[in-house]
């Protein structure tokens, strides 16, 4: 591992943060160096600290411990991410016989310099009791690879030398802090402490010294593993038949869903299938290598302790469904037994978490991670990918040594660990995946925004790449690029739609909400309307709706969890306009297709509803493609400027209101969140056009 410490960069941090102690600025710098290395920490893992002296309000010098705050990521941490605590008081806690979790948190909160600070790390007492000014702690892959093998002490000393100390796993808190302090006091010359099944602590009087030791020892571990792997016999691969992701993933995603308090919870899936993962899962001994405990118990809240092993190569669709259901049933049975055993053994009462896996290993397909949000699935995927690599690398050392079930349970059901997940009441569409066609226009902008606000993972599709990327970038600026994705798709082309659906499945596992929104217009009286123009409008506005609904049906059927199709029709369905024959006819056709789909898809629990909107011109700088075509003619015929045209449409509805893209988005979310048992319905979003009342 490369040592990335640069003195000029370090001093730049001191200059950039003049209002904090220089040592705290350096602490921020080296913490970010650690956080930038995925082989050291992932997604908020690890913690660091520094001790400093300040002058308090009454003019006294006070020694302060600045330690990483819970919820902060070392890779992007700022000085405010290091809450300061009264170090002298914390050290006195070493005399306390015991300290409950609640009381420990209370002691931290009541001895902060700033009451607005985040909660300090759960390992704060370790940092307080050790005497060093700078302390670094990571869950380095190479270190836990050594500790998680039978005979780990031999491997650790061979790799790292004798100037290290080893401790068995102990839960964070007062006991661990006390043992670590006593260990260092008995061997004050050691450079680091290895906590088995957990990670490594290094320390020093300077930021650089502690960081240097971390990189030095992790590098030694990496080099040792590389030496041990030299000349090792490569694993024997199984000749697997292809696995069809477009079939397996929706079946799996549907099986992973469940009903909680009357509300269906669905999962996002993240698929990892690079060459290394596929080769690892194709080994004869792959199940033995990878279906065992987590590298460190810190990962358990993200991945569960065990992955699910799923073999489906060579099976047809019905056989795959049976295999998925059987594998999940056994996994859940095993989890229920684990929970019951631990609750009884520890004589405690705990609210059981769901018993579903978060990592599924499918030979021939790859690593599939699951989570209630795309972020959760991505985190589980990152951890699982590192776990596979570490277990494969460590296999040359001998059998895997996982942590005992009691320790895993303590960590999985520890309130101080679960709080890291930041759980709040799920948003209405959390875990759902939505596809919006016509994604480069103003209405799509509003629909996408409201779906994202409601918690959905959104795919926007259009044939115009420039307009599509503009809309997606605007939405990503607000909601994050991981939640909104562009898909180039020609809705009039069956093959293009099929490819787009397959891409969507590979990125999220399936589909829950389909919004056929793509539309074009052509202004001409029937006598002047060419066949070519009529066909083009019909193909986009009517055939396009047919194609995407048809393409979505197999996904809905395989998932077996229902779904929602919301067609963006038009007030022209009931109130057509002169010179607008192609548009009105195509929208009426799409509307009728929606009613037929409501009849046919009800057996799958899929609801199909229509929204009839009127005159939406632009949104957040995105113009309506339709009104780009229609607007000039409408303005000429009525002798109006752009603002005058907008006012004309505002004044013609009963409520005298402007219809915005967000209003259409709100209607989509209403239908998609299934607040009422409604299908086959039409909802006007037009301010009240009497001629367009549904009838």
State pLDDT tens for residues 586-620: 999 999 999 999 999 999 999 999 999 987 876 66
Instruction: Mark whether 403 and 513 lie in a shared domain.
Output: no
Q: How close are the terminal C-alpha atoms of the chain, in Å?
A: 70
Least confident of 228-242, 395-409, 578-592, 669-683: 228-242
One domain, residues 447 and 552: yes
Decide if 492 is inside a domain.
Answer: yes
Degrees (nearest 5) of the Cα angle 355, 356, 362?
A: 145
- CATH number, position 22: 3.40.225.10
- pLDDT confidence tier of residue 634, bands split at 50, 70 and 90: low
pLDDT score for 631: 60
Q: Give the model's confidence band at 364: pLDDT under 50 very low, under 70 low, under 90 confident, else very high.
A: very high
Burial class (CB in 10 A: 0-12, 13-18, 19+), 113: middle
Same domain flag for 351 and 445: no
Residues 193 and 249 both lie in one domain: no
Q: Tell me, what's the pLDDT at 493?
A: 97
Rounded distance between C-alpha atoms, residue 407 and residue 171, angstroms: 8
DSSP at 117? S
pLDDT value of residue 625: 63
142 is a domain residue: yes
The verdict on residue 2 lying in a domain is no
How far is Cα 695 from Cα 689, in angstroms, rounded to an integer? 13
Cα torsion through 145, 147, 152, 158, rounded to 10? 70
Return the number of other C-beta atoms located less than 10 Å from residue 42's C-beta.
Answer: 23
Whether residue 425 is predicted with pLDDT greater than 80 in this model: the reply is yes
Q: Looking at the predicted structure, is the pLDDT value of residue 450 above 70?
A: yes
Distance CA 221, CA 159 (A): 5
Position 635 pLDDT exceeds 70: no
Predicted local confidence at residue 643, as pLDDT: 77
> How much is the CA Rg of the chain, to the nearest whole Å?
30
Is pLDDT at 642 greater than 80 in this prediction? Answer: no
HEC string for 69-95: ECCCCHHHCCHHHCCEEEHHHHHHHHH
At residue 554, the pLDDT reads 98
Confidence of residue 348 (pLDDT cuts 50, 70, 90): very high
Looking at residue 624, what is its pLDDT? 66
Residues 633 and 656 in one domain: yes
Q: Are β-strands 134-138 and 484-488 bridged in parallel, bridged antiparallel, or unpaired?
A: unpaired
Tell me the mean pLDDT in the region 687-694. 92
Same domain? 183 vs 328: no
* Residue 504, burial from CB neighbour count under 10 angstroms (0-12, 13-18, 19+): buried
Query: What is the rounded distance in angstroms from the CA atom of residue 130 to the CA atom of residue 91?
Result: 9
Is pLDDT at 261 greater than 90 in this prediction? no
Same domain, 22 and 158: yes
For the stretch 217-236, pLDDT in tens is 999 999 999 999 887 766 77
Q: Are residues 212 and 249 in the same domain?
A: no
Q: How many domains does the chain have?
A: 3
Residue 694 lies in a domain: no
237: pLDDT strictly greater than 80: no
Least confident interval from 50-64, 283-297, 379-393, 622-636: 622-636
Residue 485 to residue 505: CA distance in whole angstroms:
12
368 — pLDDT class (breaks 50, 70, 90): very high
The encoded tokens of residue 479 equal: 């909601």
In this structure, are 453 and 595 located in the same domain? Answer: yes
**Which CATH number belongs to the domain containing residue 348 in this structure?**
3.40.225
CB of 423 closer than 8 Å to CB of 501: no
pLDDT band at 621 (very low <50, low <70, confident <90, very high): confident
Which of 421, 453, 480 terminates a domain? The answer is 421
Residue 111: predicted pLDDT: 97
Q: Domain holding 553: CATH number?
A: 3.40.50.720
Is residue 83 very low, low, confident or very high in pLDDT (cuts 50, 70, 90)?
very high
Q: Is 565 helix (H, G, I), strand (E, B) or coil?
A: strand
* pLDDT single digits (tens) 464-516: 999 999 999 999 999 999 999 999 999 999 999 999 999 999 999 999 999 99
Does some domain include residue 234? no
User: Is there a single domain that holds both residue 149 and residue 182?
Assistant: yes
Which residue, chain included where needed, has tokens 């799509």? 444
Query: Which domain covers residue 249, as residue numbers?
Result: 245-421
Q: What is the pLDDT of residue 647?
A: 83
Residue 626's pLDDT band (boundaries 50, 70, 90)?
low
Of the three residues 421, 441, 472, the one that is the final residue of a domain is: 421
Angstrom distance (rounded) from CA 188 to CA 6:
28
Summarize pLDDT for 572-591 with one digit per residue, the tens: 999 998 888 999 999 999 99
Q: Is residue 236 part of a domain?
A: no
Q: Which of 397, 421, 445 is the last residue of a domain?
A: 421
pLDDT at residue number 418? 81
Structure token digits, residue 327: 């594998």
Do residue 300 and residue 381 come from a single domain?
yes
Which distant-in-sequence residues (6+ apart) come within 8 Å of 594 by Cβ? Answer: 545, 565, 567, 569, 608, 609, 610, 680
Residue 290 pLDDT exceeds 90: yes
pLDDT > 70? residue 676: yes
Is 428 a member of any domain?
Answer: no
**Closest of 250, 281, 627, 596 to residue 443, by C-alpha:** 627
Three-state secondary-structure class, residue 587: helix
Q: Is residue 426 one of the residues assigned to a domain?
A: no
Q: CA distances (Å), 22 to each of 29, 85, 120, 254, in order?
A: 11, 17, 20, 53
- The secondary structure element, H or E, covering residue 43 is none
Average pLDDT of span 401-420: 91
- Summary mean pLDDT of the chain: 94
To the nearest whole percent, how much of the chain has pLDDT over 90?
87
Contact assessment for residue 519 and residue 485, using Cβ atoms and an 8 Å cutoff: no
Same domain, 444 and 397: no
pLDDT surpassing 80 at residue 670: yes
pTM of the model: 0.93
């Amino acid at each position: 591992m490369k040592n990335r410490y640069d003195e000029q960069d370090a001093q730049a941090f001191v200059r950039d943060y003049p209002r904090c102690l220089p040592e705290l600025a350096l602490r921020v710098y080296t913490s970010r160096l650690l956080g930038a290395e995925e082989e050291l920490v992932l997604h908020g893992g690890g913690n660091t600290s520094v001790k400093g002296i300040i002058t308090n309000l009454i003019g006294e010098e006070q020694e302060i411990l600045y330690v990483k705050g819970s919820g902060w990521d070392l890779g992007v941490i700022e000085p405010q991410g290091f809450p300061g605590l009264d170090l002298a008081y914390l050290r006195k806690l070493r005399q306390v016989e015991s300290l409950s979790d609640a009381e420990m948190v209370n002691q931290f909160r009541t001895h902060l310099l700033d009451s607005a600070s985040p909660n300090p790390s759960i390992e704060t007492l370790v940092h307080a009791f050790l005497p060093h000014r700078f302390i670094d702690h990571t869950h380095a892959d190479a270190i836990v690879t050594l500790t998680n093998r039978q005979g780990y002490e031999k491997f650790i000393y061979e790799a790292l030398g004798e100037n290290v100390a080893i401790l068995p796993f102990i839960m964070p808190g007062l006991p661990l802090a006390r043992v670590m302090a006593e260990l260092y006091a008995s061997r004050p010359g050691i450079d680091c402490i290895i906590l088995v099944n957990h990670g490594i602590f290094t320390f020093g009087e300077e930021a650089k010294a502690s960081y240097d030791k971390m990189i030095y020892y992790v590098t030694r571990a990496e080099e040792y593993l590389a030496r041990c792997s030299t000349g090792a016999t490569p694993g024997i691969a199984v000749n697997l038949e292809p696995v069809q992701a477009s079939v397996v993933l929706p079946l799996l995603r549907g099986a992973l869903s469940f009903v909680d308090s009357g509300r269906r919870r669905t999962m996002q899936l993240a698929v990892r299938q690079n060459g290394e993962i596929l080769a690892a899962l194709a080994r004869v001994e792959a199940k033995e290598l990878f279906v065992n405990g987590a590298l460190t118990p810190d990962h358990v809240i993200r991945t569960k302790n065990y992955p699910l092993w799923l073999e489906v190569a060579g099976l047809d669709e019905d056989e795959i469904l049976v295999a998925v259901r059987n594998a999940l049933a056994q996994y859940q049975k095993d989890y229920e037994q684990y929970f019951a055993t631990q609750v009884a053994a520890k004589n405690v009462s705990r609210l059981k978490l769901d018993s579903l896996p978060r990592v599924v290993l499918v030979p021939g397909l790859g690593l599939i991670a699951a989570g209630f949000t795309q972020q959760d699935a991505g985190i589980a995927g990152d951890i699982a990918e590192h776990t596979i690599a570490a277990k494969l690398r460590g296999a040359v050392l001998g059998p895997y040594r996982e942590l005992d079930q009691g320790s895993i349970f303590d960590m999985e059901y520890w309130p101080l660990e679960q709080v890291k997940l930041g759980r709040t009441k799920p948003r209405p569409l959390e875990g759902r995946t939505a596809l919006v066609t016509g994604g480069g226009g103003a209405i799509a902008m509003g629909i996408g925004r409201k779906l994202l606000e409601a918690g959905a993972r959104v795919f926007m599709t259009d044939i115009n790449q420039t307009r599509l990327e503009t809309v997606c970038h605007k939405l990503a600026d607000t909601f994050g690029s991981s939640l909104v994705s562009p898909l180039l798709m020609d809705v009039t082309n069956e093959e293009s739609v099929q490819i787009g659906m397959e891409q969507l499945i590979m990125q999220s596992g399936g589909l829950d909400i389909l919004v056929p929104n793509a539309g074009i217009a052509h202004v001409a009286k029937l006598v002047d309307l060419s066949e070519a123009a009529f066909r083009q409008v019909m193909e986009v506005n009517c055939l396009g709706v047919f194609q995407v609904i048809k393409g979505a049906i197999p996904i809905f059927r395989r998932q077996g969890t229902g779904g929602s199709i919301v067609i963006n029709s038009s007030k022209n369905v009931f109130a057509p306009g002169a010179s607008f024959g192609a548009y009105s006819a195509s929208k009426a056709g799409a509307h009728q297709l929606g009613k037929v789909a409501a009849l046919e898809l009800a057996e799958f629990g899929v609801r199909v509803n229509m929204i009839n909107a009127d005159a939406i011109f632009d949104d957040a700088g995105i113009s309506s493609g339709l009104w780009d075509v229609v607007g000039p003619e409408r303005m000429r015929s009525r002798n109006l400027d752009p603002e005058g045209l907008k006012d004309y449409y505002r004044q013609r509805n009963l409520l005298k209101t402007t219809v915005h893209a967000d209003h259409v988005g709100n209607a989509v979310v209403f239908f998609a969140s299934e607040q009422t048992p409604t299908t086959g319905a039409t909802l006007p979003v037009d301010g009240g056009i009497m001629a367009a009342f549904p009838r």
